[in-house]
Amino acid sequence: MSRPALLQSALYTLLHEDNISGFNQQRPSGHIDMRGGDFRGLDLRNACIEGASLAHAQISGAYFPVELTADEILMSVNFGTRLRYRTK
């Protein structure tokens, strides 16, 4: 298994600077490829990650938005399904 890396991406840099609002404003509506990125220590609770796949990700200790159920996260990690937010 490859080690997580720091990606050369403006959006990735925004996440690492804890600029979640900047990330959400600048992210395109389509696909963003951040495979292999190092997301250790990041709080993604305010990041819009709907539609993301967490296939094979190591998520121990990760914070996720409260709208994502544990089952939804595990399905994405284990089977690569895209995350769907729970509606209130």
Domain residues for 37?
A: 1-88
Are 22 and 34 a contacting pair, CB within 8 Å? no
The predicted-structure confidence for 18-67, as pLDDT tens digits, reads as follows 998 999 899 888 788 888 888 888 887 778 788 889 988 888 887 788 88
Give the length of the chain. 88
> How many domains would you assign to the chain?
1
- List alpha helices for the chain, DSSP H: 10-16, 20-26, 70-79
The predicted-structure confidence for 9-32, as pLDDT tens digits, reads as follows 999 999 989 998 999 899 888 788
